[in-house]
A and B are shown apart, each in its own frame.
Chain A
C-alpha cells in the first residue's frame, strides 16, 4: 500500500481553508469524517491500493486527478453531463464527478491508465487510434472507458444501439462517426 501525499497542481480546486461545520453526534459508530475533517481512506485504483487523505466533499474525480495524479480521467462539466470523467467501478461505468471519494472505499476502480497491459494497448484504445476517433482528445479517455463498458454490456448490436448507449459521452469536436466505428470494431475483437 503506497501512502500518497497530495499531488497538488495549479489546478487544485479543493480549498481546504473555509473549514466547515463540525457536527458531532450520537449513537452508531460513524464510519469516517464525522465532523467534515480530513480523513485517510483507501482507494483501490487499477489494482493498486492507495491511502489518501480527503475531506468528505472531495469527488472521486478530484481525488484521482489531484491526489493520485491520475490525470487521464478528465474534468469537462463537473456535473454529470459530458462523460469525460467516466471510470469503471467494480466493472460498471460511472461518472466520477458525481460521486464522493469516501463513498468508493473498498470498490475496485479502473481508469484509462489501467487499460493497457504494459506496452500493449487495450483493443478499444487500438480501435480509437485506427479509426481516428478523436480530434482534441479531451473527451477520449471518457469515451474509451464508456466504450469498454458498453461492449461488456453487449450494447453494440447496431450503429444506432452504439449511439444510444454511448450517449452519456459528449464530444465537442463531434468525432462521433469515427467513435461509433471504433466501438463497433473493438466489439468485434472483444470476446464477451
Chain B
C-alpha cells in the first residue's frame, strides 16, 4: 500500500475542515473496504482523516424516526432491540452481511459508501470507466455474472454491494450530510446515482461531505419487513440477488408495500411500479407474479447473468408469500 498521512478528527466540523483543506484526502471509519481498495491500487489517497472518535455512534429514536449515527457499527445496529422490532429488514440485512468480525468494525456511513465488487473495478490493471473515466467497461462484453440487469448504461453495469442500502431504500431512509457548505439531507432514493455516462459518480455526496446520520421513518409498515439474500454459498458472501420487502395487509388485501432489490440494479433498486401492482389487491400467486413481471419488464441481461431475470422473480415471490402468509 502506498503511504499516506493520517489525522484523527475530534468533531464532525473538524473532520470536514481537515478533509476540505487536505488534497486527495478521504475519511476512514472501519477501514474494511477502503484499505482493500488502497492495497489493490483501485483507489489512492494521500491522507486519511480518521473519524472513529467523532461522537456519531449513537442510535436514537423519537416519534418520527430511528436516527442511526454514521459511526454506529453494523453489529450494534443489527442487535438494537428497537431496530429488530420496528424494522426487522434492517437487522436481517446487516446480519446477512460480511462476517461477525467485519460487522464489529464497519460503520453505517462506510457501509453505504463501499464500492462495487466488480472485478474489473477492483483490479487496477483492467480498464474500468468507474475507476478511470473513459477507459472502457470490460464487464459488458466480459465476465458479468455479478452485474446488473437493470439501470446499466453503455459505460457501466456494476451493482452496488451494500445489503443495508437495499433495506434502507425500501424504508425511504434519509441520509444526513455535513460539508464545507453546511448540513443537508438527501432521500436515499436520490443518494445513489445511475451510472449513465459518468459511472465514476456513484453517490450525491459533494467533495468533502461527511455522512453524519441516517434517519429511518417509524412506520407500522416497516415492522412487517424481511430481507431475503440469495448467494453462492450459505453465508459470508455478497448477494447474487436480494429482496427487501415490507408489507401491510388488511385481511387478504395489500394495504401498502415497499420493495427494493440488491444484485440486479446498478444502484439499490426500488420499484414503485411493482409496489403499485400489489397495492389494494389481494395477495395471491397471480398478483405476486404480476409484480415480478413488472419488475423485470425493462431488464437488459448480459451473457452470464440471464438467470437473474427469473431468480429475482422467484425471490420476490418467496418473500411476499412468507410475509403475507400465502401458501
Contacts and interface: CB of A to CB of B under 8 A. Distances in A.
Say whether A associates with B. yes
Interface string B1-30: 111111111100010011001111100101
A20 B2 contact: yes
Interface in A125-175: 146, 149-150, 153, 155, 163-165, 167-169
Interface stretch (A63-71, A89-97, A115-123): A89-97
A94 B101 contact: yes
Contacts of B24: 23
Given A32-B8, A78-B39, A25 B100 contact: no
Contacts of B28: 100, 103
B39 A36 contact: no
Contacts of B303: none
B104 interface: yes
Contacts of B102: 80, 95, 98, 168
A57 B3 contact: yes
Nearest to B32: A98
A56 B99 contact: no
Contacts of A150: 100
A18 interface: yes
Interface in A69-113: 78-80, 83, 86, 92-95, 98-100, 102-103
A20 B236 CA distance: 35
A30 interface: yes
A20 B44 CA distance: 12
A94 B104 contact: yes
Contact of A34 (B7, B99, B104, B235): B7
The size bracket of the interface on A is 35 or more
- The binding surface of chain A is classed by DSSP as loop
B236 A98 contact: no
Interface residues of B, number: 41
15 contacts: A21-B3, A21-B4, A21-B46, A27-B14, A31-B7, A55-B3, A57-B2, A83-B99, A92-B75, A93-B104, A95-B102, A98-B31, A98-B36, A103-B52, A167-B235
B60 interface: no
B48 interface: yes
B105 interface: yes
A1 interface: no
B200 interface: no
Interface of B: 1-10, 14, 17-18, 21-25, 28, 30-32, 35-36, 39, 46-48, 50, 52, 75, 98-102, 104-105, 234-236
Contacts of B105: 94-95, 98-99
B6 A36 contact: yes
A134 B99 CA distance: 21
Given A94-B104, A103-B28, A33 B5 contact: yes
Contacts of A83: 99, 101
Interface string A14-50: 0000111111011110111111100000000000000
B4 A28 contact: no
B104 A99 contact: no
A94 B103 CA distance: 8
B47 A23 contact: yes
Contacts of B104: 92-94
B14 A28 contact: yes
Nearest to B21: A26
Contacts of A153: 100
A186 to B, nearest CB: 17
User: Which of A35, A98, A149, A168 has the most chain B CB within a 10 Å cutoff?
Assistant: A98
Given A23-B25, A25-B21, A28-B14, A146 B2 contact: no
